[in-house]
Structure 1
Amino acid sequence: MSCALIFPGQGSQSLGMGKDFYENSPKAKALLDEASEYSKIDFKRLLFTQNDDLNKSEFTQPAIVLTSLMAYVALLERKPDFRHSFTLGHSLGEFSALAVNGAFDFLEAIILVHRRGIYMQEDCAKIEAGMMVILGLSDEVVQNLCELAKVEGKSIFAANYNCDGQIVVAGLKAHLLEYEAKFKEAGAKRAMLLNMSVASHCPLLNEASNKLSRELESVLKPSFLPVISNVSAKPYENKSEALTLLKAQLVSPVLYKQSILNTQNEVNYFVEFGASILKGLNKKITQKETYALTNLGEIDEFLKAIQ
């Protein structure tokens, strides 16, 4: 049976994530220890002890990618011959997907997303940026309201197409708050600011996109196994395509829903690594099964299920 591997993005972090892998999977433990040494980030402290850094983008991003990769190596430790058709990720998760499919080394991925978080924070430190989840409106209605905001000189952009009836918009926090009532008047069940200090996947991150593009140039391999792009919802598998698509990724909306719909007929199931956020979204998008692997018990249950 064929499957696609899916990887969560920022917002999936939680204290203690990856601990079961660290304590019970030698390969996962080795990966965390190597990542700590390579990046000079104390991941044991960051992931397993109370701290204020886990929710800061520059640390959140490498923590999530590392946890996803620990889950992946723990699975391979149990089943070395496990194979997949392609990978995809939600926002930040696209970098986990790229690492697993050989676009760059695991440790390079950790450093890359650490810098990605710094660049995003730097861009948004100059402005009061934010993100807002909109529930209960169609894509078209949200897009029309974003266009209206643009005409009015306001910065509000569709950022994440998560599933039908759930879109995240990004922009200046003051403009988002101004439009909260407009979203509700249009029929939104909810329009709620998220606990984010960055405005991901919109033009406010142009400088971060340019900086990240320069980083990618030096680490991307010439070719790799297919990865589904957040920007196009289609596969790509070489450095040239990756440089174009990943430069655009920070300033373009995440087409997650579209990616699942485009690929669901090519696989029997999806497997999420390190969290269960995407499993919840997938239930609203596709009838195909999604397995979430957040500890070794879930890996064992998954392997029994696919026998």
Structure 2
Amino acid sequence: MKQYAFIFPGQGSQSIGMGKEFYENFTLAKELFEEASEAIKVDMKDLLFNDNPNLNLTQYTQPAIFLVSYIAHHILQQEHPLMPSLAFGHSLGEVSAFIIANGAEFGNGMKLVHTRGALMAKACEGQDAGMMVVVGVEDKALEEFCQTAQQNGKKVWCANYNGDGQVVLAGTKSDLSACESSIKALGAKRALLLPMSVASHCPMLEPILHEFGALLEEHLSGDSSTPILSNATLQTYQTKQEAKELLSKQLVSPVLYKQSILKIDSQVDGYIEFGNGNVLKGLNKRLSQKPTYTISNLDTLKETLQML
């Protein structure tokens, strides 16, 4: 029997109309939209289906992405029950993975990711926080550059290792901008500030760790049914206690997505990405010869079901 890793996307995968085909074609999806709206007192249909500027605010982006991932996963289980050998995600996606593997009730999961986003926004308010994508520089060279910049008082950290030659930095926009020409001098093909006002996966989020730990304690209900691979440490875990520690650590540590694929690639036959778009499939193409199937709408659901 083939072994699959279930993978879940993070911020940046959102788009207007996400989840709409599921909503229109599955009673399960309609019910989950209603339950989600009730849980966080936000009209999720309005947020996802209309041109709503709130969709790009992290406290709304995170529950939107989680909701569509949750629906996509449950539709697969309804159509073709399948247990993964393990699950993980990109940033928020790791939280989604743990919740979806029975680590929390759905409504509590919605509250958790909504408040996670609100806490991240609060920590970065007035801090000139931002992120920059760098393409074409070796990881080690970029890490050494950031260490030197930090010694010179700059707030610049490696935050996401997305794929060969693509790393996202976090820090203050002014420091990231000031480093741009030096990063290009290292051989970067691209060093581009992203349109966001949070600095994820770096020490700028340390002020919210205590509050986030309490949030995890409140909303996680127990152990996961599937081993989850940690973004921060590359260890697998299943208990609520480990989830509390590792999901907190993840907020202030880089997302080791590339390293995650390289670590587990020989143990699986393929990957199934649940949620809007195909961001992780795009990253995986550069990292693995194994197929990545996506479940983001009716067409991709049909294609994936045919391949399983």
Question: Does the pair score TM above 0.5?
Answer: yes
Name the structure 2 match of 1:250. Answer: 251
Distance (whole Å) between structure 1 residues aligned to residue 210 and residue 11 of structure 2: 20
**Residue 31 (str. 1) matches residue 32 (str. 2):** yes
Distance (whole Å) between structure 2 residues aligned to residue 299 and residue 71 of structure 1: 8
Distance (whole Å) between structure 2 residues aligned to residue 138 and residue 303 of structure 1: 38
What percentage of aligned pairs have identical amino acids? 47
Deviations 1:97-150 (A, max 9, x none): 011211112221111011011111111113101000000011001101100111
Distance (whole Å) between structure 1 residues aligned to residue 63 and residue 220 of structure 2: 17
Name the structure 2 match of 1:204. Answer: 204
Distance (whole Å) between structure 2 residues aligned to residue 115 and residue 222 of structure 1: 19
**Residue 173 (str. 1) matches residue 173 (str. 2):** yes
**Residue 305 (str. 1) matches residue 297 (str. 2):** no
Name the structure 1 match of 2:289. Answer: 287
TM-score, structure 2 as length reference: 0.97
- Aligned residue for 1:113, secondary structure, equals helix
Amino acid across the alignment from 2:271: F
**Residue 73 (str. 1) matches residue 74 (str. 2):** yes
Deviation at 1:14, TM superposition (A): 0.2
Number of residue pairs matched?
305
On the 8 A contact 1:233/1:256 being kept in 2, the answer is no
On the 8 A contact 1:58/1:114 being kept in 2, the answer is yes
On the 8 A contact 1:13/1:64 being kept in 2, the answer is yes
Task: Show the 5 A alignment for 1:217-228.
Answer: 217-224=217-224, 225-228=226-229
Name the structure 2 match of 1:56. Answer: 57
Distance (whole Å) between structure 1 residues aligned to residue 113 and residue 220 of structure 2: 13
Distance (whole Å) between structure 2 residues aligned to residue 91 and residue 122 of structure 1: 18
- Aligned residue for 1:53, secondary structure, equals helix
Deviations 1:34-65 (A, max 9, x none): 11112111000000011110000110010000
On the 8 A contact 1:137/1:188 being kept in 2, the answer is yes
Task: Show the 5 A alignment for 1:1-16.
Answer: 1-16=2-17
Distance (whole Å) between structure 2 residues aligned to residue 296 and residue 265 of structure 1: 30
On the 8 A contact 1:116/1:208 being kept in 2, the answer is no
Deviation at 1:210, TM superposition (A): 2.1
Name the structure 1 match of 2:278. Answer: 276
**Residue 164 (str. 1) matches residue 128 (str. 2):** no
Can you give the 5+ residue segments of structure 2 that lack an aligned partner in the other structure?
Answer: none
Larger deviation, residues 207-216 vs 36-45: 207-216
Deviation at 1:221, TM superposition (A): 3.2
**Residue 262 (str. 1) matches residue 259 (str. 2):** no
On the 8 A contact 1:3/1:84 being kept in 2, the answer is yes
Distance (whole Å) between structure 1 residues aligned to residue 112 and residue 222 of structure 2: 17
Can you give the 5+ residue segments of structure 1 that lack an aligned partner in the other structure?
Answer: none
Distance (whole Å) between structure 2 residues aligned to residue 86 and residue 59 of structure 1: 27
Amino acid across the alignment from 1:60: T
Name the structure 1 match of 2:213. Answer: 213
- Aligned residue for 1:272, secondary structure, equals strand
